[in-house]
Chain A
């Protein structure tokens, strides 16, 4: 009795979580323009999407930002996690609370603070400002992913390496990095998806010269339902889903 109820409840909630996504995906193949009823299967919205040059440019821009931001965030974040894990230094508590703060700060506050600093130090709004902003909000996620991995390490191994005369950078390249690779890779993938998904921060630090996909989609959906948006949204969902599944599998394997 309780089991059936429990199963029913879980299924119901999951159903509601996935229902809107399902309707969206179905509508992207729906011949009806407004998606109020099923008018037959079509791929024409996808064809139109591919022919829509400004959307395609925005998509390329977004992918560029996501790849570069995820890579830089992963490098700085991984090194940062190692620093927090291995070293004692002055200001360490301040540093970790800064990571904590940047994780908890509402996006909107991070958005305006970044806009203000970019204007203050004279960074032109566009590619560079978007990139710097995306790296900044990806960083804590990488740090936490890698750090929680490092915490599971056997410290004796690192001590042994040092006793045998290995330098810090050698320890990093030969021991820490190989063992942390799954967490580093998953940090990269999560940064990539975060960057592709962001609307709030990007809306503030974007410039007229460099349009990115989420903002383009945002301006389109504000006007109303559009079948091309359904198609591009479906593609975005698929990309995120694939990446998240890969990153979860990476993390699982190492457990």
Chain B
């Protein structure tokens, strides 16, 4: 009997531990190590340990891409928040039996091919696309607007692909807001705006930050979006991809990824601080994250 217990337990714990150690923990460690090594034409990487790669990330050229792609990602995050928050609020206010259906309609595209959906945006934004055709036939413009291959297109693409990630945490945060608080505030004479700003927003701030992170974390790496929609407007992911697959400068590519992780880690840290702050203030916790 004892033998049996330990055997099942052994495999249940062992398999997942070994897998995650081998394909998540060790690889991430290797990225960190590689970022301090030197490029080598024969073995890809070679020994002299140095910080050269990190110095190179400060090069104006790469710094520009970093700033640009952070800017586009942050803009996409703001767009998602500005659309996602009212959207989630509208869903919460619907009758209970409608809520799952609407949520499902938002999440559905998330599970479909995002490359295909990005490509589909070309039909909308292109010079002969839907928007330009519409504006031309209405006589509002003389010649097609350049929408595709712009920063605007990248921001739109990122927001389009990542919107569901924003709506879900916002919905679960909004759902938990105690309506009685809002009623009490109303009875005490608070206006609609002040109820929203001083009750709903603070109570849902863990959801807001979680949603923002879910958009921001993957955004900078989504090289196919900038590839298909951005033209020359690159995301950090494009640079990393070029370093690994074309230039074959793994140490520098790794350094760029480490930089990305550090940047994102910093934002995660901000999130947990904000969540802690809120839970001290309002007595809710971030168990939904």
Contacts and interface: CB of A to CB of B under 8 A. Distances in A.
Interface stretch (B120-128, B172-180, B272-280): B120-128
B118 to A, nearest CB: 8
Interface in B1-53: 1, 4-5, 7-9, 11-13, 15-17, 19-28, 30-31, 34, 44
A128 interface: no
Q: Which of under 10, 10 to 19, 20 to 34, or 35 or more describes the interface residues of B?
A: 35 or more
A119 interface: yes
Interface stretch (A39-47, A49-57, A105-113): A105-113
B12 A87 contact: yes
B237 interface: yes
A232 B117 CA distance: 12
A221 B24 contact: no
A54 to B, nearest CB: 18
A169 B15 contact: no
A116 B112 contact: no
Interface string A81-122: 011001101010001001101101111111011111101100
Given A117-B26, A199-B114, A233-B113, 8 more contacts: A13-B83, A27-B123, A36-B128, A82-B12, A89-B13, A106-B260, A237-B113, A241-B111
A109 B117 CA distance: 23
B124 A95 contact: no
A240 B116 CA distance: 12
Interface stretch (B59-67, B183-191, B198-206, B214-222): B214-222
Contacts of A35: 123
A68 interface: no
A209 interface: no
A106 B222 CA distance: 9
A196 to B, nearest CB: 7
Contacts of A233: 113, 116, 119-120
B31 A196 contact: no
A67 interface: no
9 contacts: A83-B12, A106-B261, A110-B24, A116-B254, A119-B44, A135-B23, A199-B114, A217-B115, A241-B111
Interface of A: 6, 9-10, 13-14, 17-21, 23-24, 27, 34-36, 76-77, 79-80, 82-83, 86-87, 89, 91, 95, 98-99, 101-102, 104-110, 112-117, 119-120, 132-133, 135-136, 139, 143, 165, 167-169, 172, 190, 193, 196-197, 199-200, 203-204, 214, 217-218, 221-222, 225, 229, 233, 236-237, 240-241, 243-244, 248, 252
B123 A113 contact: no
Contacts of A222: 227-228
Nearest to A80: B16
A120 to B, nearest CB: 6
Nearest to B4: A167
Interface of B: 1, 4-5, 7-9, 11-13, 15-17, 19-28, 30-31, 34, 44, 83, 86-87, 90-91, 93-94, 100, 102, 104-106, 108-109, 111-117, 119-124, 128-130, 133, 160, 163, 217-218, 220-224, 227-228, 236-237, 240-241, 244-245, 250, 253-254, 257, 260-261, 264, 268
A134 B67 CA distance: 31
Residue in B17, B104, B129 whose Cβ sees the most chain A Cβ within 10 Å: B17
Contact of A20 (B27, B121, B268): B121
Contact of A34 (B17, B83, B128): B128
A14 B63 CA distance: 37
A10 B87 contact: yes
A133 to B, nearest CB: 8
Contacts of B119: 24, 217, 221, 229, 233
Contact of B224 (A14, A199, A229): A199
Contacts of A105: 24, 28, 261
A5 to B, nearest CB: 9
Contact of B245 (A80, A203, A248, A252): A203
Contacts of B114: 197, 199
